[in-house]
Amino acid sequence: MRRRLLASHRTEGAVAVGRCGDLAGTTSCDRAACTPVALEADGVHLRRGRVVALGAVSLHVSPGETVGVVGPNGSGKSSLLRVMGGLTAPSRGRALVAGQDLRTMADRERARLVASVSQEEHTELPFTAREVLLLARAAGLSGWRPYRDEDHAAVEGLAADWELTGLLERSLCEMSGGERKRVLLARAFAQRSGAVILDEPTNHLDLRHQHGLLARLADSPVTALLALHDLDLAAAYCDRVVLMERGRVVSQGRPEEVLTARSVELVYGVPARRADVEGRVRLLVGR
């Protein structure tokens, strides 16, 4: 199974993990802290006024599995991920983490189990990258404690992994979009949750960092649910893919089963051809 790693906490996308390898290498997280957990949507409905954002969505992500959610703009990807991360309560149905209904969990308990990184995160507070990563280390703890040597060592390790060493003392407000995104992803690793939910995690990242992130997830034991726009990345790195349209699941299964030329044409409204290259699905979209 191709597995992935990421985690974040309650604040609209703080992330954290133990010591990890380089961008495209294997990940060695704290196994006690990063025990993978299952995610499940059970008949989830979500209404925003008269708009049905999600209609009877059901899916199951097994412990250690990486599942990519794909679909056009407005198909419900972000709404689903917000419900699964406990950031939005469903109108009907249940979102479960490790078999527990998210609505019954305290924030601290949820932070121990699942970490989220939202599509866009903005702050006017002048937190440095170091402060963001240290705060993520405290997510899910039962009470306040001073930072320990192991926390500072973990931050230095994460900074090296994510090429942030020269940015640790800089404010997030002073960073480029790609630099800030790497800090937020590293924050998820700092949190050491059993599941990570990432909404368009490759947004703002260059090609090397996009593939490095997804390769890191592939080598990780942590459960991951991702929203992606790049179908080739979803096919290359995800164990399963969920294709959505207008708030509903059109199909779900292995990438080669879901990402057919016909399904892409029907859902996205563009001509597509599929090529299988050395066992990988590649989609040629457009004329």
pLDDT per residue as tens digits for the range 230-281: 999 999 999 999 999 999 999 999 999 999 999 999 999 999 988 888 777 8
2-16 per-position pLDDT tens digit: 333 222 322 333 333
Does pLDDT of 46 surpass 80? yes
The proportion of the chain whose per-residue pLDDT surpasses 70, expressed as a percent, equals 87
d(CA 182, CA 221): 20
What does the DSSP assignment read for 29-92?
A: --TTT-----EEEEEEEEEETTEEEEEEEEEEE-TT-EEEEE-STTSSHHHHHHHHTTSS--SE
114-135 per-position pLDDT tens digit: 999 998 877 777 899 999 999 8
Contacts of 225 (CB under 8 A, 6+ apart): 39, 61, 67, 69, 81, 84, 195, 196, 197, 198
Task: Determine phi and psi for 220, rounding to 5 degrees.
Answer: -100, 155
- Specify the CATH class of 8-256 in words: alpha beta
* Cβ–Cβ under 8 Å, residues 208 and 185: no
* Cβ–Cβ under 8 Å, residues 40 and 252: no
Residue of 240, 189, 238, 187 whose CA lies nearest to 214: 238
Sheet holding 240-245, edge to edge: 114-117, 195-199, 223-227, 66-70, 240-245, 248-253
* Cβ–Cβ under 8 Å, residues 261 and 274: yes
State both tokens at 120: 């866009």
β-bridge pairing 8-9 and 51-61:
unpaired
Predicted confidence at residue 138, as pLDDT, reads 80
Mean pLDDT to the nearest integer, 149-158:
90
- Full-model pTM: 0.84
Mean pLDDT to the nearest integer, 77-98:
96
Does pLDDT of 93 surpass 90? yes
Query: How many residues would you count in the chain?
Result: 287
Task: Determine phi and psi for 281, rounding to 5 degrees.
Answer: -80, 130
d(CA 4, CA 36): 10
Strand-pairing partners, residue 96, are 40, 101
Task: Determine phi and psi for 155, rounding to 5 degrees.
Answer: -65, -45
**Any idea where the domains of the chain sit in the sequence?**
8-256
Predicted confidence at residue 143, as pLDDT, reads 63
